Structure 1
Amino acid sequence: MQTVTCEIRQEARIGRGQETRTGKDTRIGKDRGLFVLAVGVLLIGANLRPGVVAVSPELAAIRAGTGLSASAAGLLTTLPILCFGLLAPLAARLARRIGRERALGTMMALLTAGIAIRLLPGLVTLFAGTIVLSAALALSNVLVPSVIKHHFDHRVGLMMGLYSVALFSGAALAAGVTLPLGDALGLGWRGAVGLWALFSALAFVLWLPQMRRAPAAEAPAAPVAVSPQTLDEVDTADADDNPADRRKLRHSRLAWQVTLFMGLQSLVYYACVAWIPGVLTSHGMGESKAGFLLSLMNLVGITGSLTFTALVRRTRNQVPFAVCGSLLFGCSLVGLALAPVGGAYLWMLLQGLGGGLLISTALAVIVLRSPDSTRAAEMSGMAQGFGYLLAAAGPFLVGVLHDATGQWTLPLLLLAALCVPMTLLGIGAGRNRRLDDPASAASTATAR
């Protein structure tokens, strides 16, 4: 009897040991899977700007080779932003149909195809390829925050900060190496811009495991009640729309503050990305140096994003980041208008730091103001839909104003003036509230 008891105890210890090892192996496997997923998300993030930014350093060569006017060139740089606005609302519908991860992988394949189309000769292919890649970027912009909300529910602030770092890294790389790499390899502007298809193809290949593991469609989950608490505290399930306690986003004052803040910071950023090389070269600076300064602005943007990432968990809201970013960006624009070449390095440092804080804040409030990943996809679609439609006016209007006045002072001062309402909207969007809280959602009638 004693022998049997000892054997039972020994088997129990072995069983507990096996259970412990199994649990540990499961945790290790989950952590490894999350790490691979995070790398994939960040690589996709790094691909969401080169297709647009790579055109800016080559804009003079494109105009010389195609005969585009400043207004037409402004339209070329505006098309991606316009597509961001028009197509962003389709992302949530696509995610529900085929799943977030599969939709995001499909967009990487479409992005690669769009960049490759621009390699073909002719103006039609230049604009057609731009539209295709812009469609891929528009939907990806919306899908990534939803993926982060869903998979990194306890690290939302950290992951959104790192995601914005990836955005700036890709933009800085495109601005800095497109022109010199194209010249070194003798590719011309088409080949230089087309090289970025290799980068997006790499992102697609590395994302394939996520597409295979993901469900074919998103299954609706039970509703979950959410109250306003700390940053980074999130849902345990995705909630369905419940008419009793989930308002339409267009009736939410907070949703519009987030949307317009996203739109204005995108407007000033993309207007600068499109035209800063032109501003500097028109005042006698060489094209390579102007492209380097655009790259410097985006490199410093990484510092702004990292600053946000390091401090976001220590603050209850994002108001300080929105205010500081708006002030820095506004000062840089005034400086560019008054002394574009003499203070160029200082203006790019201020603009990069301010831009990094602004985009990190804009992307974070989309997720942090949302109670769950379903709501995050809806909020992302609205903010990037309406927001980018507003932003699309920036590069085009700057080009039109330059054609009308023959100088850059008025367009730059106008952009600087927009930093005032952007600051006010950032204060509203940055406060620690949730979309479906009664205190933070007001009808449009009340808002008026």
Structure 2
Amino acid sequence: MPHNNKPNIVHPVLVIMSILLIASNLRGPITGIGPILEFISHDLALSATQAGMLTTLPLLAFALFSPLSSGLARKIGLEPSLMLALVAITSGIVIRSAGSTVTLFLGTCIIGVGIAIGNVLLPSLLKRDFPKKVPTLTAIYVLIMGIGATISASTTIPLLNAADTFNVLVIPNWAFALAGTIVLPIITMLVWLPQMKRHTKPTADTAEIDSHSYLWRSITAWQVTGFLALNSFIMYSFIAWLPSILVDNGYSNHQAGYIHGILQLASAAPAIILIPLMGKMKDKRGLSLAMTLLALVGITGLLTLPQYAVLWVGLLGFSCGGGFILGLSFVGLRTHNAHQAAALSGMAQCMGYLFAASGPLLFGSLHEATGSWNIPLIITAGISIIWASFAMLAGRTAIITPPINMSNNRLNAQPN
């Protein structure tokens, strides 16, 4: 349990429940857009590129605000910062559901800021309060993230239909569907309130990029960054456009929504399998390569045999979820100490999300230009092959060596 000046007056079970509830909000507000993207685009007359921006904007917020989150927590405390993240997510959902183009994009940006803060600070909370249970709780909270995303992706179409059934006229039916995602953050804020009596600082390894500038000149650091970037590029491209691909291949909107939910759930499954397995395997190249090849098989299957989409989407989700877990593990495995790991994490998040933000835009633009999903899928399959080459590089046992003139005392201050 934590060592801080104020006693922990909140029961550990309630703390863990709060952590898992926060995790449930860190993907769902984004994934809920995918199944109803065509309805939004039609109602607001959005181009495919503009529609892709609805997934791109949160990624840009991740890249820009992730490095700032640790500074916010140091200034106002970890607990208030996480509450601020929940308030931002909730406010963003309200604004996004107002029904206009301006509020749609503005609310999406605010949601992205809230999720960025939560993404960075939640692992710090885990390490501070439950240092001996980090692997187990990390696996559980990644699974909960996937479940939250699955619920969001699977319920937007039923909510949209409910708006039509009950003749909701105040806002468009798609806006009503997006508003449904507000339930989880409201519940989470209520459960998180008891923690607000504490104002503790984040752990020393919370991601930031204001030190260890030599990492930006390290080939190994760029290999890890590239692995995570390509993983996110593929995942968020399909988060944005998978339902549209499925509908164009003959699936109903309901079926596309549920299969989109399978993508989210499958991306969480590797947390249960890979985390204990990784501890037994020193060389991670085999596991990393397997994840990239699963992506290639899944994308190729969607391209050639879309009638078996459930299988291909399951493989694709498992691949991207497993790749994400492996990429995060590389951050720790390729560094000497917590400070260096924090710097590499900040670099990988910043550059990785910036690159990933181009995925939904490129996917949508190519579809708009060609009138088909074949070219975007072929290009993404090619990117999965490039991802495989990064897997063989990032999965090695190489450690990033800091410059000789760095203080050895600082380097060894917090060994892994």
> The TM-score by the shorter chain falls in which range?
0.7 to 0.9
Q: 1:116 to 1:67 in 2, by over 3 A?
A: same
Q: Is the 1:92–1:378 contact (alpha carbons within 8 Å) kept by the matching residues of 2?
A: no
1:96 deviates by: 2.5
Q: Is the 1:145–1:377 contact (alpha carbons within 8 Å) kept by the matching residues of 2?
A: no
Which of 39, 45, 50 does residue 67 from structure 1 map onto?
Answer: 45
- Identity of paired residues, percent? 34
Distance 2:68 2:399 in 1: 23
Q: 1:285 to 1:52 in 2, by over 3 A?
A: same
2:410 — aligned with what?
Answer: none
1:436 deviates by: 5.9
Q: Is the 1:142–1:384 contact (alpha carbons within 8 Å) kept by the matching residues of 2?
A: no
Whether 1:124 aligns to 2:102 is: yes
1:211 deviates by: 3.4
2:411 — aligned with what?
Answer: none
Distance 2:126 2:272 in 1: 17
Q: Is the 1:88–1:382 contact (alpha carbons within 8 Å) kept by the matching residues of 2?
A: no
Whether 1:328 aligns to 2:306 is: no
Which of 226, 229, 236 does residue 260 from structure 1 map onto?
Answer: 226
1:202 deviates by: 1.9
Write the letter of the residue equivalent to 1:146. Answer: S
2:80 — aligned with what?
Answer: 102
Which of 153, 156, 179 does residue 178 from structure 1 map onto?
Answer: 156
Whether 1:204 aligns to 2:170 is: no
Distance 2:208 2:46 in 1: 48
Q: Is the 2:209–2:347 contact (alpha carbons within 8 Å) kept by the matching residues of 1?
A: no
1:15 — aligned with what?
Answer: none
How many residues align? The count is 392
1:277 deviates by: 0.8
Distance 1:124 1:239 in 2: 32
Which of 81, 88, 91 does residue 113 from structure 1 map onto?
Answer: 91
1:409 — aligned with what?
Answer: 374
Q: Is the 2:147–2:265 contact (alpha carbons within 8 Å) kept by the matching residues of 1?
A: yes
Distance 1:269 1:241 in 2: 24
1:205 deviates by: 2.5
1:117-161 deviation digits (Å, cap 9, x = unpaired): 112131111111011111111222222233334444333333332
Write the letter of the residue equivalent to 1:214. Answer: H
Whether 1:145 aligns to 2:108 is: no
1:208-233 deviation digits (Å, cap 9, x = unpaired): 33332232x4697xxxxxxxxxxxxx
Write the letter of the residue equivalent to 1:156. Answer: V
Which of 215, 218, 239 does residue 249 from structure 1 map onto?
Answer: 215
- SS of corresponding position for 2:317: helix
- SS of corresponding position for 2:99: coil
1:444 — aligned with what?
Answer: none
User: CA RMSD of the aligned region, Å?
Assistant: 3.0
Distance 1:273 1:125 in 2: 21
Which of 359, 365, 374 does residue 394 from structure 1 map onto?
Answer: 359
Alignment of 1:149-298 (within 5 A): 149-184=127-162, 186=166, 188-215=173-200, 217=201, 248-298=214-264
Q: 1:369 to 1:156 in 2, by over 3 A?
A: farther
- SS of corresponding position for 2:34: coil
Distance 1:241 1:91 in 2: 11
Give ranges in structure 1 of 5+ residues lacking alignment. 1-28, 221-234, 442-448
Distance 1:321 1:95 in 2: 35
Give ranges in structure 2 of 5+ residues lacking alignment. 1-6, 407-416
1:114 deviates by: 0.6
Whether 1:343 aligns to 2:308 is: yes
1:425 deviates by: 2.4
Write the letter of the residue equivalent to 1:404. Answer: A
2:329 — aligned with what?
Answer: 364
Q: 1:375 to 1:145 in 2, by over 3 A?
A: farther
What is the TM-score of this pair, normalised by structure 1? 0.79
Which of 52, 55, 63 does residue 85 from structure 1 map onto?
Answer: 63
Q: Which range is displaced more, 41-50 or 311-320?
A: 311-320
Q: Is the 2:303–2:374 contact (alpha carbons within 8 Å) kept by the matching residues of 1?
A: yes
1:59-89 deviation digits (Å, cap 9, x = unpaired): 1111121111212111222111122122222
Q: Is the 1:267–1:393 contact (alpha carbons within 8 Å) kept by the matching residues of 2?
A: yes
